[in-house]
Structure 1
């Protein structure tokens, strides 16, 4: 170890005494820092200048009329972007934009199509369609720019979507608010509806029974209407026959009235004759009683008296026949059931017939008594006188009765009969008019019956369908009632109304941004450059090691008594010292010159020393042991570690090969421990990273300590041969 320190001191003295060597070493100390600083500064905040990325906006939206109002979302978007500074927006035509994006003047083109507003407005129709925004990007220009412009396009889509959702939801919640107010005002009706459903559920069996009864009644009504239809022809026949009978009766009464008018003077004359004969008979009998009778003239007197009485009997009998004929006329009127007065008419005529029969009886009795005069004269003159007296009384009584009958006939019988006949004619005329009306109504009755039959058939069909649907309706009503009970048990309609009546503006704001990302940064990093500082600092330290082993010799012109092991450690001290200077300059420069926000600056510098020593152990050992081949190994390790250490992209995003070698790369732990110092140390991770780094260093130091001399003897011949080519030193 003593010889190693001698070699180290000699190297320091040689550098300090040789100004050229000092300048070269100074350059090697600062060069790695420039590599780190320039890369960190370049990536300090790449997204701060996206406003310089040219992106074209083409608005072809023609707008749409929605509920009488013009809507043009494209114009609204253009107005919004004119005040936006996220990118360098240019508003142009499709043709110009496409030409310039192909040439590279624009990184991307966003085209709003002509049906953009129309498709957005289709949300209120029964066939809503999603709106499209065309996006064209020239990925040839730059690998990162397309991602940035894509993000800008995504932001536009999200902004339009959020604003549209906010507007639509604002309208919806305005409607909900109105609906809540309407439901609140209709709450009694809703409760009544619930009660109605429950009542319907309860009354369903009764409704089914009623429908069944109505169905049966409809069937019965169909039968009745069918029977009525079948009876209409008979009714028409009866009406026709009734009209014919009434016509005949009216003709008969008209003839009877004419006959009565003709008969009345005849009957009156006959009654006068009978009265005159009765008076004459009475006078005759009185004369007979007052004179001395000549019995020789008795036969003549008897014959004369008998003839007169016979004539009176015949006249009275003729009157009785006429009265019987009138009675038949009254009966004929009564058979037609047209007037209640026909009963009174029959009674009066019957009375007149009775009076006529009584008069006839008196006359017949007088004739019989007159015929007994001859016997009485022969037997008893005195008795004859008595008979004459009786005959006189009968004649006198007959005369009185005839006068009364004549008076009654003229004042009662004749006017009554004529009045009743006129009434019968009027009643029959009314009956004729009524039957004619009935006859004219029969077609309408037939049409009505047919229409009613059709309606009843239609109603019965509906009833049959209703009864067929009854099980389904009953099931649905029961389900609805069960759901209402369930809803009543699980929800409160007042709460629903309160929910619907929430502030529409607040609801619109909520749906415009329903989720707010509340970011909590556990280890906040100021910017992208700060985030990349660990990687570029570690990379600069490794590059510094490569520069040193490329320019400085790993071997010395030592005496043969100095071992290879002493040379190995002697030059290791020299390389490590220069490496520590490189690490010190780059870490302090990150903090002081660039202003990197490092949470633990002290540990950031110390971790830099640790990484520099570990990397120098690895690189120096490879070159010291393998020579130029070792340099190639160091470069290969650099390439692998840049891609596989997870310095720029997360390890999980790398290909499987790099994911597999990641745990075996020193960069993995070097970058990680520097991140701890920049963001905030979690000592468990920091100790783990430091332990792995020391293990790498220890492994290579052991390898160089024990194998350098053996491997060098075998590689000297290869080194000599390569120098003979004049290409290698």
Structure 2
């Protein structure tokens, strides 16, 4: 009898009546019911959260911000949550929210307390305080309520943090723009200051040179003031002497004028007398001429010899000569006396004028003396002031030199300041409003995630499908041996080949397993709506998975009987824990990680995932090889069990455990 005939014989036995056929149908459908019902119930739970009611309590009030104006953060968050539609948000009071979470009306409650906007506004004003959101959950209603609510809270917090960070960054960047403009103005001012300090430095140098010259001039002026003071002293003394002399001159001029007048008066009288004498002399001289003429006539009349007449006249002329000389002297003297009288009169007049001038000179000399004394006193005061001016000029020269040095340092410093401000301006971004908003958004959310999905499940159910398809295949193989006999007793009794017996015992459940996985896959795809990218390949791979799982359970039942059936359940539990169907297997304890690499469900899930999600198939040959090895190994163990059962034992006739 061939293995195929053994398998067909076992299949006929299983379908020999209506109830056995119904039992076989139930066994075939059990994996479909197990996998499809669970996946159907959890196909897209997150997509249906919009129908779950959650309480929203808004106690916040708007706040004023110096940088951002009025902030309505609490109301904005509430509006965004309602518009997002992730949950059926119900805005209620705090008491109603607490009662609703307690009695299960609401899955959780989110409270935005008073002061929330104030806290967020403080960030933009660089006086940071943390805003608080209060999450109220009750895991007595659903143990995942906290997890779901915390994810919502994390999302809301991230959104708020991004918005607040963007607002604060915008204010910060606005400060940068303002600082840029102010530094630019400061740089321009520093440039102007540097240029001005260059001019100031040049002016300070000229001032220093001028102050030095001024100091030297002031020193010379002080020396001149000293000399002037000495000269004024001498002049004042001389003016005093001049005044005294002028007084004496005035007195002498008075006396001179009085004497001169007396002399003039005497000379006038003398001139009058002299004039009368001159007139008398002139008359006398004229009378002599008349007398000579009379004598000459008388001599002629006397008849004297002309010679005698001449001799007498000559004698007369000789006598007249002294009189002529006297007349001449009298006339001359009279003229001189007249001139003397005129001169004396002029002297008298001049002496009067001299007296008046001397008087004026005396007065002027007194005034000059007083003025020179005043000038001397003023010069003394001027000298004191000029001395102070000289000292001040010296200090000015020193200060101007110091100023020039300081301005030189200031000039160099202002140039460095201007250069530094220019560098600072270049290092501070000059952002337009658009660039500032873009930069603020980037600072608030510096990372933009880009999903590069080498393979992805389109829903929560699709993510769990490989795991539950594998579990369904194992459960199907497990329950199958509640009806199917692992080995044919007739074949064993007939001494059939152990390999033929084992293969015949495996083919029937393997065929049923093929029906199980194909129906299960069809229902999951068509009824549940799970997308499978490589449906044909997944179907063939599930046939291998079903064959491998059947081979393992078949071997356990063939070798150990009811104990093997129980071990099949234990293996199911171990594989549920170690296969990595939900969380990554790397998160398992070390012992389970070791089991993970040995048990077949690991490779079944891995292969289904890669085929179902359209992923790289590099690991598929390994998965196929491992599962094929389990098929061969399972059949080999079953063959060993068939060979072993050729010798009947008491435990076979009366087993200790019967199912």
Q: TM-score range by the shorter chain?
A: 0.7 to 0.9
Cα distance, 1:619 vs structure 2: 1.4
2:544 to 592, 610, 614: 610
* TM-score using structure 2 length: 0.73
- Structure-2 change in CA distance of 1:712 and 1:659 (3 Å): farther
* Alpha-carbon separation, structure 2, partners of 1:533 and 1:457: 97
What's 2:40 paired with?
41
Contact 1:165 1:511 in 2 (8 A): yes
What's 2:480 paired with?
548
SS of match in other structure, 1:54? strand
Cα distance, 1:40 vs structure 2: 0.5
2:527 to 586, 590, 593: 593
Contact 1:60 1:114 in 2 (8 A): yes
- Cα deviation per residue 1:589-627 (whole Å; 9 max; x = unaligned)? 112222222223222322221111111011111221122
Contact 2:480 2:509 in 1 (8 A): yes
Q: Does 1:273 align with 2:273?
A: no
Q: Does 1:662 align with 2:600?
A: no
* Alpha-carbon separation, structure 2, partners of 1:84 and 1:628: 56
Cα distance, 1:219 vs structure 2: 9.7
Task: Please list, as runs of the form range in 1=range in 2, the aligned pairs for 1:162-311 lying within 5 A after superposition.
Answer: 162-168=162-168, 267-283=256-272
Contact 2:502 2:635 in 1 (8 A): no
What's 2:63 paired with?
63
Cα RMSD of the aligned pairs, angstroms, is 5.5
* Alpha-carbon separation, structure 1, partners of 2:580 and 2:402: 83
What's 2:495 paired with?
562
Task: Please list, as runs of the form range in 1=range in 2, the aligned pairs for 1:638-677 lying within 5 A after superposition.
Answer: 638-677=572-611
Moved more, 539-548 or 4-13: 4-13
* Alpha-carbon separation, structure 2, partners of 1:605 and 1:170: 57
What's 1:626 paired with?
560
Q: Does 1:402 align with 2:352?
A: no
* Alpha-carbon separation, structure 2, partners of 1:70 and 1:451: 64
SS of match in other structure, 1:703? helix
- Cα deviation per residue 1:229-252 (whole Å; 9 max; x = unaligned)? xx89x999x989979997996999
Contact 1:178 1:501 in 2 (8 A): no
Structure 2 residues without counterparts, runs of 5 or longer: 282-321
What's 1:146 paired with?
146
What's 2:131 paired with?
132
* Alpha-carbon separation, structure 1, partners of 2:589 and 2:11: 45
- Cα deviation per residue 1:165-213 (whole Å; 9 max; x = unaligned)? 44455566778888999999x89x96x977997x899x89x96x99899
Cα distance, 1:34 vs structure 2: 0.8
Contact 2:254 2:351 in 1 (8 A): no
Moved more, 140-149 or 18-27: 140-149
* TM-score using structure 1 length: 0.67
* Alpha-carbon separation, structure 2, partners of 1:99 and 1:262: 138
What's 1:16 paired with?
15
What's 2:291 paired with?
none
* Alpha-carbon separation, structure 2, partners of 1:548 and 1:182: 85
- Structure-2 change in CA distance of 1:461 and 1:26 (3 Å): same
Contact 2:250 2:358 in 1 (8 A): no
Structure 1 residues without counterparts, runs of 5 or longer: 293-379
- Structure-2 change in CA distance of 1:687 and 1:437 (3 Å): same
- Cα deviation per residue 1:8-27 (whole Å; 9 max; x = unaligned)? 23322222222222222222
* Alpha-carbon separation, structure 2, partners of 1:676 and 1:457: 93
Task: Please list, as runs of the form range in 1=range in 2, the aligned pairs for 1:299-698 lying within 5 A after superposition.
Answer: 394-410=336-352, 413-414=354-355, 416-419=357-360, 473=413, 476=416, 480=420, 500=432, 517-519=449-451, 521-558=453-490, 560-563=493-496, 565-680=499-614, 682-698=616-632
- Structure-2 change in CA distance of 1:665 and 1:383 (3 Å): farther
- Structure-2 change in CA distance of 1:556 and 1:677 (3 Å): same
Q: Number of paired residues?
A: 615
Task: Please list, as runs of the form range in 1=range in 2, the aligned pairs for 1:86-97 lying within 5 A after superposition.
Answer: 86-91=86-91
Moved more, 688-697 or 552-561: 552-561
Contact 1:619 1:631 in 2 (8 A): yes
What's 1:322 paired with?
none
* Alpha-carbon separation, structure 1, partners of 2:604 and 2:251: 157
- Cα deviation per residue 1:309-344 (whole Å; 9 max; x = unaligned)? xxxxxxxxxxxxxxxxxxxxxxxxxxxxxxxxxxxx
Contact 2:123 2:164 in 1 (8 A): no
SS of match in other structure, 1:83? helix
* Alpha-carbon separation, structure 2, partners of 1:427 and 1:632: 151
SS of match in other structure, 2:520? helix
What's 1:704 paired with?
638
SS of match in other structure, 2:70? strand
Contact 2:191 2:415 in 1 (8 A): no
Cα distance, 1:437 vs structure 2: 6.8
* Alpha-carbon separation, structure 2, partners of 1:436 and 1:193: 54
Q: Does 1:75 align with 2:75?
A: yes
Cα distance, 1:270 vs structure 2: 2.9
What's 2:294 paired with?
none
SS of match in other structure, 2:493? coil
* Alpha-carbon separation, structure 1, partners of 2:10 and 2:472: 24
What's 1:50 paired with?
49
* Alpha-carbon separation, structure 1, partners of 2:196 and 2:423: 14
Contact 2:518 2:539 in 1 (8 A): yes
* Alpha-carbon separation, structure 1, partners of 2:92 and 2:251: 125
* Alpha-carbon separation, structure 1, partners of 2:341 and 2:238: 42
SS of match in other structure, 1:680? coil
SS of match in other structure, 2:481? helix
* Alpha-carbon separation, structure 1, partners of 2:620 and 2:41: 28
